[in-house]
A and B are shown apart, each in its own frame.
Chain A
Amino acid sequence: MRKLLSLKSILITTLVLIVILGSAQLVLANELSTEGQKIRESEAQRCELENEIQVLKKNVARLGSFSRIEEQAVELGFKYNPQAFEYLSYPKLAQVQ
């Protein structure tokens, strides 16, 4: 009788252990796959952001180009004429000041 009981308890303990370990494995696998999914999503997001940065850099560079600045300056009525430069000698500069 005692022998039977001990066999039964071993069987139950083993079953419980199997169920616990199985559940733990299931939870762990689920956690891992969720985290894996998150990592993939973050990586995709990072790629997207990197592409956006590239596009922004491109736009900044395009806006800072001389040809565009010159175009804008002309539109705004700026004029550049190096012939019209007057060199101020020190006495002249003193007079201006």
Chain B
Amino acid sequence: MRVRILLILFLSFLILITFRLFQLQIVEHNKFAALASKQHWGYAEIPAARGRIFSNDGFPLVENQAAYLVYGEPPNVKDVKKTSELLAAILVEEKLKTQNSKLLDDYDLKKSETQRLLEALSQDLQWVPLAHKVLPETKEKIESLGIEGIGFEEEPRRFYPEESLAAHLLGFVGSDEQGQDQGYYGLEGFYNGDLRGRPGRIVEEKDASGQPILLGGYKKIPAENGRDLVLTIDRSLQFMVEQKLSAAVGKYGAESGSVVVVEPQTGAILALANFPTYDPSDPFLNTELAAQIESAESGEQSAKSAEQWKNGAISETYEPGSVLKALMMSAGIDTKTVEPQTTMIDSGPITVSGYTIDTWDGKHHGEETMIEVLQHSNNIGAAWVGQQLGAKTLRSYFLRFGLGEVLGIDLEDEDTGIVKELSEWRPVDLATAAFGQGVSMTPLQLAAIFSTIVNDGKMMKPYVVNEIREGGRVIRIKPKELAQVISAKSAEIMVEMLTAAVEGGESKFYNLKTHRVAGKTGTAQIPVEGRYDPTKTNATFVGFLPSHPNFVMLVLLRQPSASIYAAETAVPMWMEITKELTVYYGIEPDK
């Protein structure tokens, strides 16, 4: 009997074990296999190097440099307070070295940094990130302290050999919501997908202590580095233009300025500069924004920060003023509505729909040819041509020249400008649009209009990236023709008219003594609350050298205080840059 009971007990126990084994190995196989795999296998990410950006001479405008993520393992940190203080001292030291130390309060920074680290390390977590992209020398300093529970992971950061050169073109790298590198603005934003690459992984078997088993399983999925970009930007030109622009903004007391240099035959951007600019290696900090560091670091992007990152040459629209007479006249010539010698009578101010239209200087020259209308930048003459064309035709030429839509440049945040619907055009709108009021555009669109005239009426798509390189593969970006906007003959006539406009125009005192120049000035009043402020203007000059039309350059100074006239601000600046360009390109004098 006893034996039987023992046998039953034994069998029951066996059945129980079998059942449990069945449950563990068959029913919950996947769950436990996953748990075991997690325990046996270690995963490490191999970061992909972000693609570099080169100027057209092959010089790196953006490089990568080694940097590290500092992380903490709170359960392994013995003295959280002391660790926080030690780390804060080193991290603040790096911050002061890489940023403008005059703007930062050393003591306050250390205090807030210590507090931040203290809070991070006091969390009930196994792993917390403490500092991103610290330099190798900082890593060495931290390592030399021998603090337990502090570790490092590779996290490369961007390096800009030319510092803030072409900052608005390049954009900058920040973090996305998951803490991964993400390009913002300019090329970094537009080409983020190409530049970021794909991180790789190392999968290896670990022993009980977490160390890799030498003869265990090992699999490496290599990282795919990001693609490199080679730009159309001429580094020498960009450097010189930025220097001239920053000097001119100061000299003429302007709020800001932009310069665009385009190769009209291809649409390649040779230089594009804005001032004020910012440091892409530390986009949250400039002289005006020191006070905002804290909010910026915590991820709150202030409106003012975003404003300074905007590429004014492609993202800010404005009413260009008289410089748009070049487009209006192109339309007149192309439709054969007028010819260079066609005359109109300017006997005084005119009234359209109750609004008075006058010349910018109050002078009236009586009978004027179309050449003289451009030379005197006569608003009444422009309004007359506009009326001859009609709203429908003039508007159609605005659209043909690419206004009201993006040109498709490969940079983030391009604006379209505004061209009103035809139904909204009143007679006064037709008159004012002919001399560049009531229609808004970006400086790039304006430069594209003149490039089209220079390029026999063919409009090219503007572009900044010339080549995309991926390993040994090179993808070349070919110039793209957008449209034949005006005939080659009309374009030829316009080149002559614009040359005459400069030679006999309001800016003649600043003209080059060595080279003939073609172009048009624009002094545009700024619309404020439904009316134009007569004391504030934007000064523009767009021009080229008719005998060597290998570049078109736009110079825009926003609200210069030295003079409200473009002829006294934007024109001398344009001439100064061009003087250097003739030397740089070796262009012989034609005067």
Contacts and interface: CB of A to CB of B under 8 A. Distances in A.
A58 B165 contact: no
Contacts, number: 51
Contacts of B175: none
Interface string B514-550: 1000000000000000000000000000000000000
Interface in B395-434: none
Contact of B583 (A55, A62, A67, A85): A85
Interface string B133-149: 00010000000000000
A82 B583 contact: yes
Contacts of A87: 514, 588-589
Given A61-B60, A65-B162, A82-B579, A33 B588 contact: no
A interface bracket (residues with beta carbon within 8 Å of B): 20 to 34
Nearest to A63: B161
A82 B65 contact: no
Interface residues of B, number: 23
A20 interface: no
A55 B136 CA distance: 10
Given A58-B65, A61-B59, A61-B60, A67 B162 contact: yes
A72 interface: no
21 contacts: A32-B214, A33-B214, A36-B214, A36-B215, A37-B214, A51-B136, A54-B66, A58-B161, A61-B60, A61-B161, A64-B59, A65-B161, A65-B162, A66-B162, A66-B236, A82-B579, A82-B583, A85-B583, A87-B514, A87-B588, A87-B589
A8 interface: no
Contacts of A66: 162, 165, 235-236, 239
A73 interface: no
Contacts of B159: 58, 61
A7 to B, nearest CB: 37
Interface in B553-591: 579-580, 583, 588-589
A33 B215 contact: yes
Contacts of A55: 65-66, 136
Contacts of A51: 66, 136
Nearest to A34: B214
A46 interface: no
Nearest to B514: A87
Nearest to B62: A61
